[in-house]
Amino acid sequence: MTGIDDLPIRDELRGKSPYGAPQLEVPVRLNTNENPYPLPEPLVARIAERVTEAARNLNRYPDRDAVELRTELARYLSRTAGLEVGVAQVWAANGSNEVLQQLLQTFGGPGRTAIGFEPSYSMHALISRGTGTGWISGPRNDDFTIDVDAARRAIAEHRPDVVFITSPNNPTGTAVAAETVLALYEAAQAARADAAGALVVVDEAYGEFSHRPSLLPLIEGRPRMVLSRTMSKAFGAAGLRLGYLAADPAVVDAVQLVRLPYHLSAVTQATALAALEHTDTLLGYVEALKAERDRLVSELRTLGCEVTDSDANFVQFGRFEDAHAAWQSLLDRGVLVRDNGVPGRLRVTAGTPAENDAFLDAVRELMKEKS
């Protein structure tokens, strides 16, 4: 039988595993930071209308520059994220993973490096590998905040071409202060002053769930700062696959060099536009989820867990001597959470109140067993 390694694949892919959060059929699925609320019926109907219209033109390629969609995304950011941005500053792709891939294809690549502060979103390292970009694992403090001095030192030492800052961070839920982002931006530009600077990517996939305002205003006057967002979480549309970035128009021009022609299908553009018409209803669900997230933090603490403060739609909790055994024992009780490989800790996504109750009941039993 032929295995992957018998094929002439690139050396750096040999022996590696793909991204793979388990997709298991269990009663309570709280493992991939999805929004638990299905889209409201009036929005489902609007999507059907918009997609029907798009279907009549499917013999043609879609709007390659997705101008209407980018205009509406710019309006959404301008209204909710603290900075007026225009269509020339916004770019969209199939999920923010594709946005990040396009950024690495443009600003990373063979002979170049990217740094992230781990534990963080595992795809930053995986997309780096996929694009031939060297990966540097930067440090965090024991409380999972970014150690600014250590981060600065790592940037000065490795002189990365791309710096990832995830705020709120996945899997820890930790928000990053604007001053920290600015300090790392300055450090990254200073380290590569001889080479047109470095790109700093603020991954704000969970931005809408934060107690803090968006970091979007930081892009103003900083052409090497990019903010990445997604409709997968706050808009409850993980199945849609729509991510976007906001940055200087030059960054948007630069990613055109690597994007595939017509990468965003007409169906995707129509669906995303319909969802953006229902922003206020969807942001109402975000408020409910933030309250449930805060409840999870406080109830887990009451149950004796060590819980990391969270600004996202998920919560990191522990500590377990054997996190994987704890994960299995919650699964045996019908609750799927995530083991991200952070020693002693697991991550739970905020679900509906009923799902969260089921999860908390399972943890209560687990903690009893433990003591």
- Contacting range for ligand PMP; rule: CB under 6 A; set: 92-100, 290-298, 333-341, 348-356: 92-100
Residues 244-273 that bind ligand PMP (CB under 6 A): none
Judge whether 133 and 114 are in contact, CB under 8 Å. yes
Our finding on whether 95 is near ligand PMP (CB under 6 A) is yes
- Contacting range for ligand PMP; rule: CB under 6 A; set: 89-97, 182-190, 216-224, 302-310: 89-97
Judge whether 231 and 242 are in contact, CB under 8 Å. yes
CB of 260 to ligand PMP, least distance (A): 16
Residues 110-169 that bind ligand PMP (CB under 6 A): 121, 166
How many C-beta atoms lie closer than 10 Å to residue 45's C-beta?
11
CB of 94 to ligand PMP, least distance (A): 8
User: Which residue has the closest beta carbon to ligand PMP?
Assistant: 95
The C-alpha angle with vertex 244 and arms to 64 and 44, in degrees rounded to 5, equals 85
Judge whether 206 and 168 are in contact, CB under 8 Å. yes
Residues 336 and 32: their CA atoms lie apart, in Å, by 9
Residues 267 and 38: their CA atoms lie apart, in Å, by 19
Q: Give the number of residues in contact with ligand PMP, rule: CB under 6 A.
A: 13
Residues 231 and 268: their CA atoms lie apart, in Å, by 12
Our finding on whether 313 is near ligand PMP (CB under 6 A) is no
Q: Which of 189, 210, 230, 340 forms a contact with ligand PMP (CB under 6 A)?
A: 230
How many C-beta atoms lie closer than 10 Å to residue 20's C-beta?
6
- Residues 7-36 as x/- pattern, contact with ligand PMP by CB under 6 A: --------------------------x---
- Contacting range for ligand PMP; rule: CB under 6 A; set: 93-101, 137-145, 320-328, 363-371: 93-101
Q: Which is nearer to ligand PMP, 205 or 282 (CB)?
A: 205
Say whether 102 sits in a helix, a strand or coil. helix
CB of 170 to ligand PMP, least distance (A): 4
Q: Which residues 6+ apart lie within 8 Å of 270 measured at CB?
A: 47, 50, 51, 53, 54
Residues 198-217 that bind ligand PMP (CB under 6 A): 203, 205
Residues 355 and 31: their CA atoms lie apart, in Å, by 12
Between strands 335-336 and 28-29, the pairing is parallel
Q: Which of 89, 96, 128, 172 forms a contact with ligand PMP (CB under 6 A)?
A: 96
CB of 169 to ligand PMP, least distance (A): 7
Cis peptide before 213 (omega within 30 of 0): no
CB of 365 to ligand PMP, least distance (A): 28
Residues binding ligand PMP (CB under 6 A)? 33, 95-97, 121, 166, 170, 203, 205, 230, 232, 238, 243
